[in-house]
Amino acid sequence: MTRIDDTFARLRAEGKKAFVSYIMAGDPDFETSREIVLGLPGAGVDIIELGLPFTDPMADGPTIQLAGQRALANGQTLDRTLQIARDLRVRDDRTPIVLMGYYNPIHSRGVPLFLEQAKAAGIDGLIVVDLPPEEDAELCIPAQKAGLNFIRLATPTTDDRRLPTVLQNTSGFVYYVSITGITGAAAAQATDVGPEVARIKAATNLPVIVGFGIRTPESARAIAEVADGAVVGSAIVSEVAQGRTPAEILAFVKSLADGAHSA
């Protein structure tokens, strides 16, 4: 049982859906992003997705691309990203942290060393969007052996023939991408998402969390009503980009978390 498994078990017992928030590590700078991450559990976040900045984030829209560029320009590295996780663990040993990003920085570090360092920092799971299931031996299987969940993305184009391959080594939860395209590109619609979540849940016992295109407490609630929880990323990162203070950003996050938890 990982922290992610424990979190979903607790939420089920409480009759609540999960709220997952994404924040880019190092955006707009190390100290500000660290302050925001440390405040996320208190704002009602059940699982933290911690973005690892990368120079070529092909699945992300302009909002998160620019966040990564700001972070890299201000000296954010893999080591500094893991430091944020370590700092959170000093005060919070319950909230799961999922490191989300691309394979290149991990490959550059070397998989065995990276997994050792991530586990020691308190990382609970990985979302690596550019490693398909056909490459599971590269990182997914070693990560599972190291005690980290490997979370896979399913999309509107993941048909019934492809779905078993996507699910075969997935653990923790399934991240359903509600729209076709890049992050922040369109609004998620619960009427479209509901049948797709049901289709995925018929093929797995894992929780299904929905992300992309959720920007308001109302949409977080609507999506959480048809899934096991909601993920918000670009809308939060946009608040960072607009120069909001950590307190203002965390208040916005709390409104989203309250929306998802009211489902």
Out of 27, 46, 49, 136, the active site residue is 49
Distances (CA, A) of 50 to 37, 158, 230: 8, 25, 16
CB contact at 8 A, 187 and 215: yes
Strands across the sheet containing 125-128? 149-150, 125-128, 97-101, 47-51, 18-24, 229-232, 208-211, 174-177, 152-154
d(CA 260, CA 223): 8
Let me know: does 223 contact 175? Beta carbons within 8 Å: no
Strand partners, 227: none
Q: Rounded CA gap, 187 and 79, in Å? A: 34
CB 131 within 8 A of CB 105: no
Secondary structure of residue 191 in the 3-state scheme: helix
Residue 46 annotated as catalytic: no
Which entry of 60, 124, 136, 228 is annotated as an active-site residue? 60
The secondary structure of 16-74, three-state, reads CCEEEEEEECCCCCHHHHHHHHHHCHHHCCCEEEEECCCCCCCCCCHHHHHHHHHHHHC
Whether 49 is catalytic is: yes
Counts of helices then strands in the chain (DSSP H, E): 12, 9
Residue 165 burial (10 A CB sphere; 0-12, 13-18, 19+) = middle
Q: Report, as residue numbers or ranges, the catalytic residues.
A: 49, 60
